[in-house]
Structure 1
Amino acid sequence: MSAALGADEHDYTTDPLSAFPVWQNYLDRLPFEEFEHSDWITLKTDVIAYLFTVLSCRFGCEWQVFADETAPSGYRYLVVAGEELDGIRLDLFRLVVHELDRGETQLLPILSQALSQLGIPAILRVQTAPAADYGSTGE
């Protein structure tokens, strides 16, 4: 997805935060008022995948499966961080779905919240892309 948005593949592979500006620009331009149910599912899945890529590449997090009788499937995929990856767990699905459902479309607060819940102290430096000017007359 990052390549489809215009992120440099080599930079993305080395540091997925390099794609942050194109992801944020993408979210900023989406016509949420026109979204159907399937559009929301696709968006949430894409955002989860991108944020997990950042968490795994930059901070060594992994997905693990945990039994959960309250989940429809009987289990949950959780992001795990810690020395031996038996430490703090984060339900990234729940976090992203909750934040997007309440109208949060800025990635930085969602990523910051994920890092905080995982107990990862991080100062993130991300570049933002200049907003496209689709109506300027140049005057």
Structure 2
Amino acid sequence: MSFEEWASGSRPAIRDMIGGLGGDLGAFDADPLSAVDVLDGFIARVPWAQFETDDWAWLHAQLVAYVAEALIHHHGGGWKAVPDASAPDGWRPVIEIPGAGGTVREVDVARLVHQELHPVPQRVPRLVERAVALAEATS
């Protein structure tokens, strides 16, 4: 899968998940942070002991998409593929955040989500706080 295909599918995937969990999609569209409680409740109920590799990969991708949506919405960010020879597809997704004076900061959402999922999954508000702190370091 190309980066463009992957990136274009991330928003619909997280919207589907939030809708499936009973979240308010109109509120999500207006402000992705409105779904923090819905996702946090889901994370709190997940049967971690039963998770297999595919489950972890799916959850990781969903949370990457969610954090990216929050950063895109609140900080004017956008997707970018950064070459990474160690990644399966040869790239890793980051969100580019424009900063003061034309500077650009890359927030490695995939790495951030991985750090928050391992060894013990953390709460979604903590994940969002860390992402926002990284994004605001660009200002």
- Residue 113 of structure 1 deviates from its aligned partner by 1.3
C-alpha distance in 1 between matches for 2:27 and 2:89: 36
Percent identity, aligned pairs only? 28
- Residue 70 of structure 1 deviates from its aligned partner by 4.4
C-alpha distance in 1 between matches for 2:62 and 2:88: 21
**8 Å contact 1:80–1:86 — kept in the other structure?**
no
- Residue 54 of structure 1 deviates from its aligned partner by 1.1
> Which of 25, 29, 51 is residue 67 of structure 2 equivalent to?
51
Secondary structure of 2:89's partner?
Answer: coil
C-alpha distance in 2 between matches for 1:50 and 1:65: 17
> Which of 124, 134, 137 is residue 107 of structure 1 equivalent to?
124
**8 Å contact 1:62–1:81 — kept in the other structure?**
yes
Q: TM (normalized to structure 1)?
A: 0.76
Greater shift after overlay, 112-121 or 21-30?
A: 112-121
> Which of 38, 41, 44 is residue 22 of structure 1 equivalent to?
38
Structure 1 residues 82, 39: closer, same or farther in 2, change over 3 A? Answer: same
- Residue 37 of structure 1 deviates from its aligned partner by 1.1
- Residue 86 of structure 1 deviates from its aligned partner by 5.6
Secondary structure of 1:103's partner?
Answer: coil
Summarize deviations over 1:94-136 as a string: whole Å, max 9, x none.
1101220121320111111122222358xxxxxxxxxxxxxxx
Root mean square deviation of aligned Cα = 2.1
**8 Å contact 2:75–2:135 — kept in the other structure?**
no
Matches within 5 A, 1:40-119: 40-83=56-99, 87-119=104-136
Secondary structure of 1:65's partner?
Answer: strand
C-alpha distance in 2 between matches for 1:45 and 1:71: 14
C-alpha distance in 1 between matches for 2:35 and 2:135: 22
- Residue 76 of structure 1 deviates from its aligned partner by 2.4
Structure 2 unpaired stretches of 5+: 1-16
- Residue 58 of structure 1 deviates from its aligned partner by 1.9
